[in-house]
Amino acid sequence: MMITRTHLALLGLVALTLAAMALPFLLDGYWLRLATTIAMFAIVTCGLNVIVGFAGYHAFGNTVFFGCGAYALSIAMNAGWSFSASLPLALLAPMLLAGLLGWPLLRLKGHYFAIATVALNLAFAELVTQAGGFTGGANGIALPLSDLAPQIAYRRIYWMMVAVLAVCIAVTWWLSRHWLGTALRALKDNESGAEVMGIDTVSAKILAWMISAAMTGLAGGIWAYWITFIEPSSAFDPLIGVKAYIMMLIGGMGTIAGPLIGALLLELFGALIWAQFLDLHRLLLGCLIVATALALPGGIVPLVRRALRPARPAR
Residues that bind another protein (CB under 8 A): 179, 182-183, 185-186, 188-190, 192-202, 312-313, 315
Q: How far is the CB of 203 from another protein (least distance, A)?
A: 9
Closest to 70 measured CA to CA, from 149, 124, 32, 119: 124
The three-state secondary structure class of 257 is coil
What value, to the nearest 5°, has the Cα angle with vertex 223 and ends 239 and 259? 60
Nearer to another protein, 310 or 313 (CB): 313
Find out whether 39 and 165 touch, Cβ atoms under 8 Å.
yes
Q: How far is the CB of 187 from another protein (least distance, A)?
A: 9
Q: How many CB atoms lie within 10 A of CB 24?
A: 21
Q: How far is the CB of 205 from another protein (least distance, A)?
A: 13
What value, to the nearest 5°, has the Cα angle with vertex 68 and ends 228 and 261? 80
Q: How far is the CB of 13 from another protein (least distance, A)?
A: 21
Q: How far is the CB of 207 from another protein (least distance, A)?
A: 14
Nearer to another protein, 185 or 243 (CB): 185
Nearer to another protein, 195 or 237 (CB): 195
Nearer to another protein, 149 or 312 (CB): 312
Nearer to another protein, 147 or 315 (CB): 315
Q: How many CB atoms lie within 10 A of CB 235?
A: 26
CA distances from 23 to 39, 77, 162 (A): 12, 29, 11
Q: How far is the CB of 161 from another protein (least distance, A)?
A: 32
Strands, E assignment, the chain: 141-142, 229-230
**Distance, CA of 186 to CA of 208 (rounded, Å):** 13
The backbone torsions φ and ψ at residue 255, rounded to the nearest 5 degrees and listed phi first, read -100, 170
Q: How far is the CB of 195 from another protein (least distance, A)?
A: 4
Nearer to another protein, 161 or 187 (CB): 187
Q: How far is the CB of 193 from another protein (least distance, A)?
A: 5
List all residues 6 or more positions away from 235 whose beta carbon is below 8 Å from its beta carbon.
66, 67, 70, 71, 125, 128, 220, 224
Nearer to another protein, 84 or 192 (CB): 192
Nearer to another protein, 291 or 314 (CB): 314
Question: Residue 260's Cα: distance from chain center in Å?
Answer: 10
Tell me the residue type at 180: L
Q: How far is the CB of 3 from another protein (least distance, A)?
A: 13
Nearer to another protein, 295 or 312 (CB): 312
Find out whether 228 and 145 touch, Cβ atoms under 8 Å.
yes
Strands, E assignment, 117-271: 141-142, 229-230
